[in-house]
């Protein structure tokens, strides 16, 4: 029994924790739990715990303290106490790994409160930087300007310079691929709004009926979860979608919306409303969380 308690139980505990972390990392479930900067630490922790389990396997632990009557660890003096200690360490993480939901449900989202005002997130401006200025020869004052050369008769006209909105990702048919967070920022930023307003947009989110505005019969919310660092601090955010007919879909269904982005003033506040032309069921994005 001493061999079991002093050698194999610590080894098994460390190995189990390592296995859970490594499985979560390699099967991609860590994407729903941690923001990208923190994910490598899961891999590191899993490897370190595996190495510690291997060390326990090779070298027996010195249990002289807990074999002594003077030991202050009362549970460690009894076989049942050592088993209980092992179960306390191993059962919670095992249950969480196998039985915890892989995504937020409707009740969890409603309890956290859906945010449609980016100011309440406390984030800095996310507007992409404008393309840098090109270095023109005329900026070098030491060199005289070159003489103009007549263009050949069959020369093609120069290509137009890229517009400020060319940094945006687009679908093959020219629609802007937007995220919920983009539209919320555009509602509050006059410059960013020009890149989206009255433009064709494609948006992916989870379908939830709108129960807050006056136009509930023809509006729903496209919801995404916004994560600061981990699932514990994530918050649901949403953009309003206006349709002619409400889609017959279960709540929390992933949908792809194509339509036109608008930013009307309602109740003294500018909001984002995507006027949908088409709403269709779709697969969840590779990254279900926004960061």
Tell me the domains of the chain and their CATH numbers.
Answer: 2-102 (no CATH), 103-125+167-291 (2.40.50.140)
Residue 71 has a pLDDT of 52
pLDDT tens for 222-237 read 999 888 888 788 889 9
Query: Rounded to 5 degrees, what are φ and ψ at 236?
Result: -80, 135
Residue 216 pLDDT > 50, yes or no?
yes
* Contact status, residue 207 vs residue 220, Cβ threshold 8 Å: yes
* pTM passes above 0.85: no
Residue 227 has a pLDDT of 87
Segment 63-85 mean pLDDT: 56
Give the span between the Cα atoms of 224 and 207, in whole angstroms: 10
Segment 239-252 mean pLDDT: 91
Residue 102 has a pLDDT of 66
């Amino acid at each position: 029994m001493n061999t079991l308690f002093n050698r194999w139980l610590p080894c098994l505990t460390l190995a189990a924790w390592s296995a859970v972390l490594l499985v979560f990392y390699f099967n991609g479930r860590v994407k729903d739990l941690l923001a990208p900067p923190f994910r490598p630490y899961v891999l590191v922790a899993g490897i370190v715990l595996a190495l510690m389990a291997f060390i326990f396997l090779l070298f027996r632990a010195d249990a002289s303290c807990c074999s002594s009557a003077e030991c202050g660890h009362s549970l460690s003096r009894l076989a049942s106490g050592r088993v209980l200690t092992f179960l306390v360490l191993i059962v919670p993480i095992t249950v969480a790994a196998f039985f915890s939901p892989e995504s937020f449900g409707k009740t969890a989202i409603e309890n956290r409160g859906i945010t449609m005002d980016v100011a309440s997130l406390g984030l800095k401006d996310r507007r992409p930087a404008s393309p840098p200025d090109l270095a023109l020869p005329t900026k070098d004052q030491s060199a005289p300007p070159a003489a103009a050369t007549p263009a050949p008769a069959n020369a093609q006209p120069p290509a137009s310079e890229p517009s400020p909105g060319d940094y945006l990702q687009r679908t093959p048919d020219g629609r802007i691929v937007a995220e919920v967070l983009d539209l919320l920022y555009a509602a509050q930023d006059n410059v960013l709004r020009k890149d989206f307003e009255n433009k064709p947009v494609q948006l992916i989110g989870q379908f939830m009926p709108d129960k807050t505005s006056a136009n509930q019969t023809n509006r729903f919310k496209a919801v995404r979860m916004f994560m600061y660092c981990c699932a514990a601090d994530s918050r649901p955010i949403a953009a309003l979608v206006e349709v002619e007919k409400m889609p017959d879909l279960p709540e929390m269904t992933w949908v792809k919306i194509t339509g036109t982005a608008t930013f009307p003033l309602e109740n003294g506040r500018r909001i984002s409303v995507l006027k949908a032309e088409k709403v269709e069921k779709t697969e969840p994005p590779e990254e279900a969380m926004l960061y």
